[in-house]
Chain A
Amino acid sequence: MSVSGNVFRYPEEIRDDFLQTADIQFRDGSKASPAEVWHYLTEIGPKKYPHIYDYSNYYGRKISGDVTLPFSLKHNYLIMTMDERMTKAKQNGIPVVFVQGGQSVDPYYAAGAIALRPASVGIWASCQHEGLNLNQEEVRRANQKEKAYRAISFEVCQSAGYENIQEGTVPVDMIAPYSCLRCSDVSYGLEAHRHGKRKDVKLFLADYPLDHQKDKEWAITYFAENIRRLIESIDELTGGKTTAEDLRKEIKLHNEGRRLAMEIADLWWSAEVPPTNGKDRRDLFQMGGMELHGDPEASLSLLREAKGYIAERVKKGQKGFGVSDNPVRIFVCGSCVFPNEYRIEEVGGIVVGNDNHWSDITTIVEEDGDPFYNLAKAVLSYPYEQSIKERAKWTVEQIKRSRADGVLFLYNWGCNTQSAVARALVDEIKRESGVPTLIIEHEQQGTQSEQLQNRVNAFVEMLK
């Protein structure tokens, strides 16, 4: 790793080893060789996106610095090329659909679309602005978000990409999330688009039934119909006709990603010392959702490669870059926000897992039989969407497997549905596991949140 004046540079000494690694395989059959990736990360990226190379620990999305993990470099490449890749896909007639985080994206890809969650749409929009330093990028993002606040409400947490989609910054064709219990803003944010100026964006809600939904045949049948209609709506955009076989094939592909992520998690959690830092762990686990990069095959190729590297590090007892000795292990629960992993590592902690975005990855879809029904049944089984006791039971299993020392329940300001169960869920977790817990409200997005960090640091200190 090389840092000069708080600007990160990939060190030349890792170049040769990196060039020996695998290509990134894309869905359209194309590839990116390690040489192309290296050139982008060392020549193009620093000029186009200086903010990404800012190496301040206050920047939670900064480059990991663990430069001998090829998947980490390739992940950064996929993030930085989001605009180029999406623009290319659009030129090839592939529709882009805005979805919710923490939901499976199998049906969207089966129908020939690209599914992007809010963070990915935000990255796409960000990548359209070149040459900004971190401060300029933060100001740009805040200005964009303000547009959503004005058009919807200042209490909106999840503006459903309103600011980027309605401004026409990103040419999203359709907004079609699942209305999971995880987030009420997604449904109302979706509805808000009906009064926006862009009338060409198609709106669809995959209606997620509530209350013991996975045990009710009529709820599964109803959600299966939602998936069917979702696919038909995408077909209207593509002009194609998606078959049950197409969906089955897609489910198999996504199951491979989900299984790989779980296998990697088992390896990671089994290690004496954490084999990566918290940021790399989060990116790696999340790849199992197959939606992080807007290209499931690309995510899959990274996962396949990553597994060997993680296994090797675990075998050697190699510690991730920036991780302290005997770090306090924190499991994060709550809404779609994360603490700054680097700053937790500064004070001797590490984030070892989270419930959000992991619940859907750990839900494998049955491959035999009616794929619509199977997918509906799996989606309605997400542990994160179950009753307090059931969700807590699953969370406690994850806490035990990850050998967490403490649980941090984090929810975003304005997040009604996760904050509502925060107290009850941590009470249940504490009762069942004996692990100490802390609930924190996450402030508005930004590089710094000292109040939040002080509390997290005090919690880590207490657990040492």
Chain B
Amino acid sequence: MALKTLEIIKKRLEERPKEIEKARREGQKVVGWQGYNIPEEIIYALGLIPVRIGVGGDDRMVEIGARYISTKNCVFVRETVGLFAENNDPYVQNTDILAFDATCLQTYRTAEIIQYYFNKEVLILGVPRNFYWPEAKVYFTKEVEYFTRRLEKQAGKKLNYQILADTIGLYDRIRNAIVTIYTYQAAAGNYLSWEETYDLIHAGYYLDRREYLSLLEQVLAELREKQGQPFIEAVEGEARIFLSGSVLPPGDKKLIKIIQEVGGRIVGDDLWSGLIPYLDVKIPENSLQGLAVGYLNRTPHGALPYLDLDTDRRIKRLKELIQTFKAQGVIYHTLRYCDPYTFKAKETKDILQKEGIPLLEIHTEYAGSDLEAIRTRVEAFVEMLKNRYDEEVAV
């Protein structure tokens, strides 16, 4: 059933660390980055190799990380620190420069810890919290310019604006391809699952971006051939679930597996490790200012506080996506100590309840100790969604 291109991608991912090693031997530098608002286009346009670092799901690595950062930090950041402490991950080993943004304060702290304990060259990109102000856009543009100047030093060359324009074009095509693939995975008679789509997104964290685009286009060609025009509809017997909340990085499959095992079908997400970074990106001009404004105008990350509930674009987008993917319920995943999303759980539940959309919050870590407790709750939720569907059809 799996698409042929997925097999190719799997193979290419196995080969990628050696390729990167080779590129470094030949003088290329690798920028490992983490965050939500870093315009990766700049890294790529400067001839540096961007790799999005950070994985999840390994409790042992979390423990290692907690020796440096605190047990009061979320497991994702603890595992990120653990990766650097252990230094076995090939992408971590092959990182010359690190870039973090200040969207999530814990990510910012992670950067500080990695810099302090592991002597890594770390660049930070400041991100405004009053991101909707015109002055915040000026501030962020200056930050992006400063960030670029420091990257230019690392690259040993100035940014070529024609190459930047081409790169923005390349990334726009990647974004469009991902958004289209999401439509296919959510459709009836799908040949690609949400989990495979999710893995496909994560493949883009490591592969060369031109090759990645070409692979995405191959996936799309296969899907068009097998599936034709995608049509999203709820089908009898399905429990269509939308995932929201904290990050689910590569490797963190605990919740995803449980949902699938108990008969739920994930059809969409608004995770910052999922679809949301690829939506609503409109770069108004091929310049650093254009990139800064384009990134800041996307659906904001939950770590950026927004004080008016009625005009919150993140919530508006969440409601739209639930509708688009014809989801029947939301599983709101929160990592322990992930305040940006945990603090919004009840609020989000109340908002969606008014729309008739049930929400189940799953508050967890990477340890397996709560596996069965989560399974029981998710199973009951899935069953409830299926019953609701039956009742609605009966009415």
Which residues on A are within 8 Å of B, measured CB to CB? 150-153, 155-156, 179, 181, 184-185, 187-195, 203-205, 207-211, 213, 216, 218-219, 221-222, 225-226, 387-389, 411, 413-417, 419-424, 428, 441
B27 to chain A, nearest CB (A): 29
B17 to chain A, nearest CB (A): 29
| Docked CA distance A221–B77 (Å) | 31
Contact A424 B72 (CB under 8 A): no
| Docked CA distance A365–B70 (Å) | 34
Contacts of B339 in A (CB 8 A): 153, 155-156, 184-185, 188, 416
New A-B pairs, 13, CB < 8 Å, besides A211-B126, A216-B146, A420-B77: A152-B346, A155-B336, A155-B342, A204-B307, A209-B128, A211-B102, A222-B135, A388-B112, A416-B73, A416-B339, A420-B109, A420-B112, A423-B70
Within 8 Å by CB of B138, from A150, A204, A222, lies A222
B24 to chain A, nearest CB (A): 27
Contacts of A188 in B (CB 8 A): 305, 339-340, 343-344
Closest to B66 in A: A423
B63 to chain A, nearest CB (A): 14
Contact B306 A420 (CB under 8 A): no
- When each residue 66-81 of chain B gets 1 if its CB lies under 8 Å from chain A and 0 otherwise, what string results? 0111111110010000
Known contacts A181-B108, A184-B105; is-contact A219 B72 (Cβ 8 Å): no
B116 in the interface, Cβ–Cβ < 8 Å? yes
10 contacts between A and B (CB under 8 A): A155-B339, A179-B129, A181-B108, A191-B307, A195-B346, A195-B347, A203-B307, A211-B126, A414-B337, A421-B112
B139 in the interface, Cβ–Cβ < 8 Å? yes
| Docked CA distance A269–B350 (Å) | 53
A312 to chain B, nearest CB (A): 44
Contacts of B235 in A (CB 8 A): none
Within 8 Å by CB of A416, from B72, B117, B126, B308, lies B72
Interface residue total, chain B, C-beta cutoff 8 A:
48
A242 to chain B, nearest CB (A): 19
| Docked CA distance A155–B341 (Å) | 11
Contacts of A179 in B (CB 8 A): 129, 305
Which among A150, A193, A207, A421 has the greatest number of chain B C-beta atoms within 10 A? Answer: A207
Known contacts A195-B350, A387-B112, A417-B105; is-contact A205 B69 (Cβ 8 Å): no
Contact B307 A424 (CB under 8 A): no
Which among B72, B116, B139 has the greatest number of chain A C-beta atoms within 10 A? Answer: B72
Total inter-chain residue pairs, C-beta < 8 Å = 144
Known contacts A153-B339, A388-B116; is-contact A207 B124 (Cβ 8 Å): no
A218 to chain B, nearest CB (A): 4
B197 in the interface, Cβ–Cβ < 8 Å? no
The 9 A-B pairs of least Cβ separation, nearest first, read A419-B70, A420-B109, A218-B142, A222-B139, A191-B305, A419-B72, A211-B124, A203-B307, A207-B130
Contacts of B108 in A (CB 8 A): 181, 210-211
Within 8 Å by CB of A423, from B68, B342, B345, B350, lies B68
Contact B138 A194 (CB under 8 A): no
Which among A210, A225, A387 has the greatest number of chain B C-beta atoms within 10 A? Answer: A210
B299 in the interface, Cβ–Cβ < 8 Å? no
B136 in the interface, Cβ–Cβ < 8 Å? yes
Contacts of A388 in B (CB 8 A): 112, 116
Within 8 Å by CB of A226, from B130, B138, B306, lies B130
Known contacts A188-B339, A423-B69; is-contact A194 B308 (Cβ 8 Å): yes
Which residues of B (129-144) have their CB < 8 Å from a CB of A? 129-130, 133, 135-136, 138-139, 142-143
Contact B113 A152 (CB under 8 A): no
Contacts of A211 in B (CB 8 A): 102, 108, 124, 126
| Docked CA distance A189–B347 (Å) | 12
Closest to B142 in A: A218
B309 in the interface, Cβ–Cβ < 8 Å? yes
| Docked CA distance A195–B346 (Å) | 10
| Docked CA distance A210–B139 (Å) | 11
| Docked CA distance A49–B378 (Å) | 50
Contact A194 B307 (CB under 8 A): yes
Contacts of B71 in A (CB 8 A): 419
| Docked CA distance A185–B303 (Å) | 11
Which residues of B (341-377) have their CB < 8 Å from a CB of A? 342-347, 350
| Docked CA distance A191–B343 (Å) | 9
| Docked CA distance A415–B73 (Å) | 8
Contacts of B345 in A (CB 8 A): 153
Contact B309 A194 (CB under 8 A): yes
Closest to B334 in A: A153
| Docked CA distance A185–B74 (Å) | 14
Known contacts A207-B130, A216-B146, A416-B72; is-contact A192 B139 (Cβ 8 Å): no
B35 to chain A, nearest CB (A): 12
Contact A205 B70 (CB under 8 A): no
Known contacts A188-B340, A195-B347, A424-B117; is-contact A416 B139 (Cβ 8 Å): no
Contacts of B109 in A (CB 8 A): 416-417, 420-421
B106 in the interface, Cβ–Cβ < 8 Å? yes
Contact A417 B106 (CB under 8 A): yes
Contacts of A423 in B (CB 8 A): 67-70
| Docked CA distance A190–B344 (Å) | 12
Contacts of B337 in A (CB 8 A): 155, 414, 416
Contacts of A155 in B (CB 8 A): 336-337, 339, 342
- When each residue 142-164 of chain B gets 1 if its CB lies under 8 Å from chain A and 0 otherwise, what string results? 11001000000000000000000
Contact B128 A222 (CB under 8 A): yes
Contact A210 B346 (CB under 8 A): no
B100 to chain A, nearest CB (A): 9
Contact B116 A151 (CB under 8 A): no
Known contacts A192-B347, A210-B126; is-contact A205 B305 (Cβ 8 Å): yes
Contacts of B306 in A (CB 8 A): 191, 194
| Docked CA distance A184–B112 (Å) | 16
Within 8 Å by CB of B305, from A190, A411, A414, lies A190
| Docked CA distance A139–B342 (Å) | 26
Closest to B139 in A: A222
Within 8 Å by CB of B68, from A151, A195, A424, lies A424
Which residues of B (30-81) have their CB < 8 Å from a CB of A? 67-74, 77
| Docked CA distance A419–B78 (Å) | 12
| Docked CA distance A221–B141 (Å) | 13
Contact B72 A411 (CB under 8 A): yes
Which residues of B (72-128) have their CB < 8 Å from a CB of A? 72-74, 77, 102, 105-106, 108-110, 112-113, 116-117, 124, 126, 128
| Docked CA distance A413–B71 (Å) | 10
Contacts of B336 in A (CB 8 A): 155
